[in-house]
């Protein structure tokens, strides 16, 4: 196995909520998620002014750095999950997915003859086999996220129209004011959607989020791959691939091949450049200018 290559770009984020696990035999990426907040509903802050997403990612990174190497990746994720709940419950948090900080995750243990992967929400793992097959984990939250994104666009247009503004052409200052009002109106929808979908084992379209809820184990994705069959392994947060809309109608393998082809052509920097180009084209109706983006690439000899 060659030394992992990795990349991180903060985008326009003011918080460092993405995370990276480079603690052999554990490797992976995290996308921290704060409990819902808005200008009228201030965020819950943690040690040294960290947001919930920052707190979750840093705690998970520390957990993996000190866990015994004999742990399976499933047990390691469960240990991190319990640690998250202990810290949040001490602060009076309730066990509802709509009110907990957590993280999307794609984490592997590479040891012996196996590559063991556990994934939840919309952090991704992609692997290429020796015979050329390309596969990738899915976006578990695609249904709920599509609905939420549509609601964001609807509300931004609503606020702009009420102010007599054209959302597509306003300057950055006006757009930021529109986004702030949108988040206040969006807040109740986000809380209720998270409560309904996060780690809900009874909901087919529910998704796993590493946030302290014990039901996580029933919603994550898990696969074991023979190490001898794996040629390449990528981990990346959703900020690296904000182009799912252009891939509608494609099979999961076709999507995986497009992602891998972009990586093969330009490396991790090429993946990031494509993401930034798409974000710039859709910035006018987006809730942010550019997302955090994190990725790790591992090549096997």
Q: How many domains does the chain have?
A: 1
Assess whether pLDDT exceeds 60 at residue 160: yes
Tell me: the pLDDT tens digits for 196-231?
Answer: 999 999 999 999 999 999 999 999 999 999 999 999
HEC secondary structure over the chain:
CCCCEEEEECCCCCCCCEEEEEECCEEEEEEEECCCCECCECCCCCHHHCCHHHHHHHHHHHHHHHCCCCCCHHHHHHHHHHHHHHHHHHCCCCCCCCCCCEEEEEEEEEECCEEEEEEECCCEEEEEECCCCEEECCCCCHHHHHHHHHHHHHHHHHHHHHCCCCCCCCCHHHHHHHHHHHHHHHHHHHHHHHHHHECCCCCCCCECCECCCHHHHHCCEEEEEEHHHEEEEEEECHHHCCCHHHHCCCCHHHHHHHHHHHHHHHHHHHHHHHHHHHHHHCHHHCCCCCCCEEEEEEECC
Range of the domain at 152: 5-299
What CATH number corresponds to the domain at position 76? Answer: 3.60.40.10
Residue 294's closest CA among 54, 22, 7, 4? Answer: 7
Of 4, 15, 33, give the one whose Cα is nearest residue 234: 4
> Which two tokens mark 23?
């603690």
Residues 12-17: what's their mean pLDDT? 92
Q: Please, which pLDDT band fits residue 248 given cuts at 50, 70 and 90?
A: low
Least confident of 19-28, 157-166, 244-253: 244-253
Separation of alpha carbons 218 and 111, rounded Å? 24
* Verdict on whether the full-model pTM lies above 0.85: yes
Mean pLDDT of 85-111: 88
CB 297 within 8 A of CB 234: yes
- C-alpha span between 3 and 1 (Å, rounded): 7
User: According to the model, what pLDDT value does residue 286 have?
Assistant: 81
Confidence grade of residue 281 (pLDDT, cut at 50, 70, 90) = confident
- Is the pLDDT confidence value at 93 over 70? no
* Distance (Å, whole) CA 7 – CA 49: 25
**Mean pLDDT throughout 22-31?**
98
Which is it for strands 134-136 and 124-129: parallel, antiparallel or unpaired?
antiparallel
**What pLDDT shows up at residue 63?**
96
Average pLDDT, the chain: 93
Whole-number pLDDT of residue 166 = 94
């Amino acid at each position: 196995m060659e030394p992992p290559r990795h990349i991180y770009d903060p985008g326009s984020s003011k918080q460092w909520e993405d995370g990276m696990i480079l603690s052999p035999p554990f490797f992976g990426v995290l996308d921290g998620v704060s409990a819902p907040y808005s200008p009228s509903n201030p965020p819950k802050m943690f040690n040294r002014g960290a947001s919930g997403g920052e707190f979750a990612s840093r705690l998970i990174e520390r957990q993996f750095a000190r866990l015994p190497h004999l742990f399976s990746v499933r047990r390691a994720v469960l240990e991190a999950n319990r640690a998250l709940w202990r810290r949040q419950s001490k602060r009076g948090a309730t066990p509802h997915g709509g009110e907990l900080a957590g993280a999307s995750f794609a984490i592997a243990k590479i040891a012996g003859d196996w590559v063991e992967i556990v994934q939840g929400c919309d952090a991704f793992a992609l692997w290429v086999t020796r015979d050329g097959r390309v596969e990738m984990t899915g976006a578990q939250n695609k249904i709920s996220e599509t609905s939420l994104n549509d609601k964001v666009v609807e509300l931004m247009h609503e606020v702009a129209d009420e102010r007599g503004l054209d959302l597509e052409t306003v300057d950055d200052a006006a757009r930021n004011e529109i986004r702030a009002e949108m988040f206040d109106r969006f807040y109740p929808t986000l809380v209720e959607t998270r409560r309904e979908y996060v780690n809900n084992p009874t909901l087919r379209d529910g998704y796993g989020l590493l946030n302290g809820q014990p039901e996580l184990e029933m919603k994550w994705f898990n696969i074991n791959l023979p190490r001898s069959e794996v040629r390449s392994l990528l981990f990346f947060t959703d900020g690296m691939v904000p182009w799912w809309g252009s891939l509608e109608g494609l099979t999961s393998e076709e999507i995986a091949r497009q992602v891998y082809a972009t990586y093969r052509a330009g490396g991790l920097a090429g993946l990031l450049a494509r993401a930034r180009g798409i974000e710039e084209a859709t910035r006018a109706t987006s809730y942010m200018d550019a997302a955090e983006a994190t990725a790790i690439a591992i090549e096997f000899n």
